[in-house]
Structure formats: structure tokens, C-alpha cells
Structure 1
């Protein structure tokens, strides 16, 4: 598995940070961390939805 990328500020208003954690040879995967430290794992489509449409169906609000 490739080393996870470092955390980056993603959404200041919601307090989200994101990092890419894609295993070698697999589809893109992202971890999104909220202010409380909870981490949600998203695939590329879910992450794009979060970027463009707002909250994710995986509990991010």
C-alpha cells in the first residue's frame, strides 16, 4: 500500500480535513476528518459529490 498523503484543510466552515489513502492498484480512496476527529472513508465519486454538491451520504454534514 502507498503511504497515505498528509492531511489538508478541505472545508473551513465545516472543519473538514482530507487525505488520500489509495492502496496500490485500487480505486481512489479519501479519508475526511471532521472537527471531532471522526473519519469517514469515501471513494472518488463520493468525494467528488462532497466537493461539488455538499454533504455526503456517509454522515458528513
Structure 2
């Protein structure tokens, strides 16, 4: 597994930070952290939905 990238501000209004992790040969994995330090793991499609449409199936 590759080392996770550093956290970056993603949505200041919602208080989200994001970093990308890549587990082995699988697709990208995105970790989104909220103000309460809860981390939700998203795949590429879920992350794109969060970027484009707002809330996604994981409750962000």
C-alpha cells in the first residue's frame, strides 16, 4: 500500500479535509475527514459524486 498523502482542505464551509490513499492494485481510495475528526472512506465514484453533487451515499 502506498503511503497516504497529506490532508488538504476540501470544503471549508463543511469543514472537510481530504487525502488520497491507494491500497495495492485497487482503485484510488479517498479519506474525507470532517470537523469532528470522523473519517469516511470513498472510492473514485463516490468522491466524484461528493465533488459534483454534494452529499453522497456515505452520509457526508
Whether the TM-score (by the shorter chain) exceeds 0.5 is yes
Cα deviation code 1:37-59 (max 9, x no counterpart): 00000000000000000011101
For normalisation by structure 1, the TM-score amounts to 0.94
Stretches of structure 2 that go unaligned for 5 or more consecutive residues are none
Matched, 1:57 2:54: no
Runs of 4+ in 1 over 2 A off after TM superposition: none
For normalisation by structure 2, the TM-score amounts to 0.96
Cα deviation code 1:2-60 (max 9, x no counterpart): 00000000000000000001112111100000000000000000000000000111011
Stretches of structure 1 that go unaligned for 5 or more consecutive residues are none
Cα distance in 2 for residues equivalent to 1:19 and 1:36: 16
